[in-house]
Amino acid sequence: MTISVGDKMPDVKLYTMSDSGPEATSTGDLFGGKKVAMFGLPGAFTPTCSAKHVPGFVANAEALAAKGIESIVCVSVNDAFVMGAWGDDQNVGDKVLMVSDGSAELAAATGLELDLTANGFGMRCQRFSMVVNDGTVESLNLETDGGYEVTSAEHMLANL
């Protein structure tokens, strides 16, 4: 069952990349006591994700902050090394935290998994965006047509 507005985020271990290597974090650490914009993508370095989705959140980080967003989290089913390299490639700096859901645990726990094994990609994450306020889902947007419009930073801004 897919997570819904009003649901608490599941407690899942995730990873970020630091100067000393992958570091474990949790959804509790990421979402506790703050208002967070999170977006999920099928894969790092993929065309739409790299050309449009991540750049949109980087470009709109200040506007999102002005509307009360305290951090922006990008999550994908890739390892922390890939997410770190992708963040460097996308020049996210401190605007977007690149988070690894390497085993698709968050994707599965939220019902946002996407089975792309037939295409050789394994289990992935659907394209989504959400606002999480102190661990509770406040808004949720899912793409249904393979695009990125309703999960874009611009759409989120217009609906905050």
pLDDT digits (tens, 9 = 90+) for 1-32: 799 999 999 999 999 999 999 999 999 999 99
Catalytic residue among 49, 73, 114, 130: 49
pLDDT tens, 55-91?
999 999 999 999 999 999 999 999 999 999 999 999 9
- Whether the per-residue pLDDT at 118 is higher than 90: the answer is no
Which pTM was predicted? 0.94
Q: Kindly list the domain boundaries of the chain, sorted by start residue.
A: 13-158
Is 49 assigned a catalytic role? yes
How far apart, in whole angstroms, are the C-alpha atoms of residue 14 and residue 122?
18
Q: What are phi and psi of 101, to 5 degrees?
A: -110, 60
What CATH topology corresponds to 13-158? Glutaredoxin (3.40.30)
Answer for the pair 160, 67: CB distance below 8 angstroms, yes or no.
Answer: yes
- What's the full length of the chain, in residues? 160
The continuous run of DSSP H or E covering 100 comes out as: strand 97-100
